[in-house]
């Protein structure tokens, strides 16, 4: 993969030449706001009966609300890697959430202490930076195990000029976090709630960029920790839900989402105040479906809602990968639109690069689709179906595909028909079994009529089962044959257990 990385350098001048064709006034800015474990049904504009989200409701009214918006994976780290690369995250070797590798800890038996977003991967911020954009990350990183250490690439190596981030969750909770790092320097204890601190950092960065050069376009990635556990929320907001929540813990969750909504409001207001809102694409979404109660000991405040969808985080059903999606671009996108067209976070890289007047390096296989023509009112032609393979899924159907109106779920089986064991990582030792596994126990659903995936049409003659299976088989074999796998673990002695995803 090293030649692809070098190809970026070789094409910088070509990229910049394309960018010159559109002035900074014409090229849009980009703000991606990503929540952590926010469910499809957790916002008022997606039907939640209690949670107040006035800022996001307004953002949806001013733009485009996506009802079939998908994350790249049903869990955190691969979802983020997919968004940043425009590729199914398995290609990059990120298969599950990445636990932190503490200095001095023994290697993990699953080799996840090695997992990171490699330098060889071409990223959206790197391409935009090469095209002249200012770039920043504020919030959760979770794309390496050795955070803020020279052993692995850090956010700046992925193309971010400025970063204010944590490896995984805000610690000890959303309130008064102590683990933020700014551009390689540990910040120390902070006062306030994580989402508001992240929004404040993002706003201050925007103000500096505008003071330095108001014509320079920017790419800002705002990665909130909310509403991931451990949940902590402002007491005044919690009190506002005690009359409708079933417990104080549920009130804490409701207030957590509302507090995040307030942070979004501050950020959007800053765009307005700085006079850049009209030509700024704001995309709001979530990294995966919601957490629910008691999957692990400290998840007592996980009251996320998938709405009518089946499953949750860590499932390959709709509840694990279909997420809220709101896109506002006043200069181009008609306000008040609602679309059920399938859209994925994988689509952001090809779309933003095209809108920036830049180019994707030749030979780079992308799994996302350029949406720029569709946003302008054209048809959305998706050459490749959306695909997920999550080898550690809770449900047995660990491979999934969305192709037009159809959703296909399949088990990974060995030659005896037994389901393959769950895997949190794929190494040189385990890859052969994954690559030789067959897809079995196929389920087929027509989502526009059955969003809950309750009626399996695999045996129904009205469903194009054979054609869907051919497409899924071809896609699955191509991705598994080319996915990056990690060297086998160096020891069988387990490393320390580092929190839940």
Q: Does the residue 496 lie in any domain?
A: no
Residues 348 and 413 in one domain: no
Q: Does the residue 487 lie in any domain?
A: no
Of 375, 403, 419, the residue at which a domain comes to its end is: 375
Residues 190 and 296 in one domain: yes
Asked if residue 4 has pLDDT above 70, the reply is: no
pLDDT of residue 117: 98
Asked if residue 421 has pLDDT above 60, the reply is: yes
Asked if residue 23 has pLDDT above 90, the reply is: no
pLDDT of residue 491: 56
pLDDT digits (tens, 9 = 90+) for 156-194: 999 999 999 999 999 999 999 999 999 999 999 999 999
Residues 423 and 365 in one domain: no
**275-279 CB contacts, 8 Å cutoff, 24+ apart:** 276/29, 276/206, 276/210, 277/330, 278/330, 278/331, 279/25, 279/26, 279/28, 279/29, 279/329, 279/330, 279/331
CA angle in degrees (0–180, nearest 5) for 192-197-200: 130
CA–CA gap between residue 420 and residue 431 (Å, rounded): 12
Q: Does the residue 491 lie in any domain?
A: no
Asked if residue 19 has pLDDT above 90, the reply is: no
Nearest to 407 by CA among 447, 442, 368, 464: 447
DSSP 114-125: G-B--TTS--HH
Residue 344, C-beta contacts closer than 8 angstroms, at least 6 positions apart? 69, 70, 71, 72, 368, 369, 386
Residues 459 and 366 in one domain: no
Q: Does the residue 174 lie in any domain?
A: yes
pLDDT of residue 10: 40
pTM above 0.75, yes or no: yes
Domain total of the chain? 2
Asked if residue 18 has pLDDT above 50, the reply is: no
Please give the structure tokens belonging to residue 417.
């028909």
pLDDT of residue 409: 98
pLDDT digits (tens, 9 = 90+) for 222-276: 999 999 999 999 999 999 999 999 999 999 999 999 999 999 999 999 999 999 9
Q: Does the residue 497 lie in any domain?
A: no
**404 within 8 A of 438, measured Cβ to Cβ:** no
Nearest to 265 by CA among 338, 190, 202: 202
Residues 353 and 395 in one domain: no
- What integer is the mean pLDDT of 324-350? 97
Asked if residue 1 has pLDDT above 60, the reply is: no
Q: Does the residue 380 lie in any domain?
A: no
Residues labelled as active-site residues: 76, 142
pLDDT of residue 3: 44
Residues 300 and 424 in one domain: no
- What integer is the mean pLDDT of 442-453? 98
Residues 362 and 475 in one domain: no
Please report, to the nearest 10 degrees, the dihedral formed by the alpha carbons of residues 97, 100, 106, 110 taken in order.
10
**Strand 185-186 relative to strand 218-223: parallel, antiparallel, unpaired?**
unpaired
Of 375, 409, 426, the residue at which a domain comes to its end is: 375
Residues 371 and 397 in one domain: no
CA–CA gap between residue 122 and residue 475 (Å, rounded): 21
- What integer is the mean pLDDT of 321-333? 97
Q: Does the residue 21 lie in any domain?
A: yes
CATH assignment at residue 271: 3.40.720.10
**268 within 8 A of 254, measured Cβ to Cβ:** no
| Domain limits for position 428 | 386-482
pLDDT digits (tens, 9 = 90+) for 451-495: 999 999 999 999 999 999 999 999 999 999 999 999 998 754 443
pLDDT digits (tens, 9 = 90+) for 338-357: 999 999 999 999 999 999 99
- What integer is the mean pLDDT of 395-404? 97
* pLDDT band at 426; cut points 50, 70, 90: very high
pLDDT of residue 500: 58
Residues 360 and 394 in one domain: no
Of 331, 354, 375, the residue at which a domain comes to its end is: 375
Residues 414 and 368 in one domain: no
Q: Does the residue 439 lie in any domain?
A: yes
* pLDDT band at 21; cut points 50, 70, 90: very low
Question: Backbone phi, then psi, for 402, in 5-degree steps?
Answer: -110, 120
* Adjacent-strand bridge partners of 410: 399
Asked if residue 430 has pLDDT above 60, the reply is: yes
* pLDDT band at 286; cut points 50, 70, 90: very high
pLDDT of residue 301: 95
pLDDT digits (tens, 9 = 90+) for 39-68: 999 999 999 999 999 999 999 999 999 999
CATH assignment at residue 420: 3.30.1120
Residues 290 and 401 in one domain: no
Residues 340 and 269 in one domain: yes
């Amino acid at each position: 993969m090293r030649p692809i990385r070098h190809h970026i350098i070789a094409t910088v001048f070509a990229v910049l030449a394309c960018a010159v064709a559109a002035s900074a006034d014409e090229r849009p800015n980009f703000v991606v706001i990503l929540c952590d474990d926010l469910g499809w049904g957790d916002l008022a504009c997606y039907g939640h009966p209690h949670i107040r989200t006035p800022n996001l409701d307004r953002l949806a009214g001013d733009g485009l609300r996506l009802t079939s918006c998908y994350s790249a994976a049903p869990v955190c780290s691969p979802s983020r890697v997919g968004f940043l690369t425009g590729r199914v995250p398995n290609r990059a070797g990120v298969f599950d959430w990445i636990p932190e590798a503490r200095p001095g800890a023994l290697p993990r038996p699953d080799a996840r202490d090695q997992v990171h977003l490699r330098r060889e991967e071409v990223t959206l911020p790197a391409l935009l930076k090469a095209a002249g954009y200012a770039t920043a990350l504020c919030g959760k990183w979770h794309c390496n195990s050795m955070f803020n250490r020279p052993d692995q690439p850090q956010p700046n190596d992925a193309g971010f000029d400025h970063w204010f981030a944590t490896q995984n969750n805000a610690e000890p909770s959303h309130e008064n976090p102590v683990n933020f790092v700014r551009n390689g320097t540990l910040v120390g204890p902070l006062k306030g709630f994580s989402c508001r601190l992240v929004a404040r950092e993002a706003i201050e960065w925007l103000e500096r960029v505008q003071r330095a050069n108001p014509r320079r376009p920017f790419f800002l990635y705002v990665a909130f920790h909310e509403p991931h556990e451990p949940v902590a929320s402002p007491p005044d907001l919690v009190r506002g839900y005690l009359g409708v929540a079933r417990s104080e813990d549920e009130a804490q969750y409701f207030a957590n989402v509302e507090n995040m909504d307030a942070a979004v409001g501050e950020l959007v207001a800053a765009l307005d105040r700085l006079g850049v809102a009209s030509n700024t694409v704001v995309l709001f979404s979530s990294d995966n479906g919601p957490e629910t109660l008691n999957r692990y000991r400290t998840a007592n405040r996980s009251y996320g809602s998938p709405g009518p969808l089946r499953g949750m985080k860590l499932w390959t059903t709709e509840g694990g990968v279909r997420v809220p999606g709101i896109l506002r671009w006043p200069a181009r996108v008609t306000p008040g639109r609602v679309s059920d067209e399938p859209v994925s976070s994988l689509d952001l890289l090809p779309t933003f690069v095209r809108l920036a007047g830049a180019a994707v390096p030749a030979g780079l296989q992308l799994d996302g689709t350029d949406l720029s023509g569709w946003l302008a009112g054209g048809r959305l032609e998706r050459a490749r179906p959306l695909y997920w393979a999550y080898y550690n899924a809770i449900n047995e159907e660990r491979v999934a595909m969305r192709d037009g109106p159809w959703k296909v779920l399949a088990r990974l089986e060995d030659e005896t028909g037994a389901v393959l064991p769950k895997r949190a990582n794929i190494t040189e030792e385990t890859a052969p079994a994954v690559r030789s596994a067959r897809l079995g126990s196929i389920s087929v659903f027509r989502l526009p009529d059955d969003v809950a995936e309750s009626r399996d049409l695999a045996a129904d003659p009205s469903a194009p089962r054979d054609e869907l299976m051919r497409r899924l088989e071809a896609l699955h074999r191509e991705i598994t044959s080319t996915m990056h796998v990690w060297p086998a673990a160096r020891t069988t002695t387990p490393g320390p257990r580092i929190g839940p995803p």
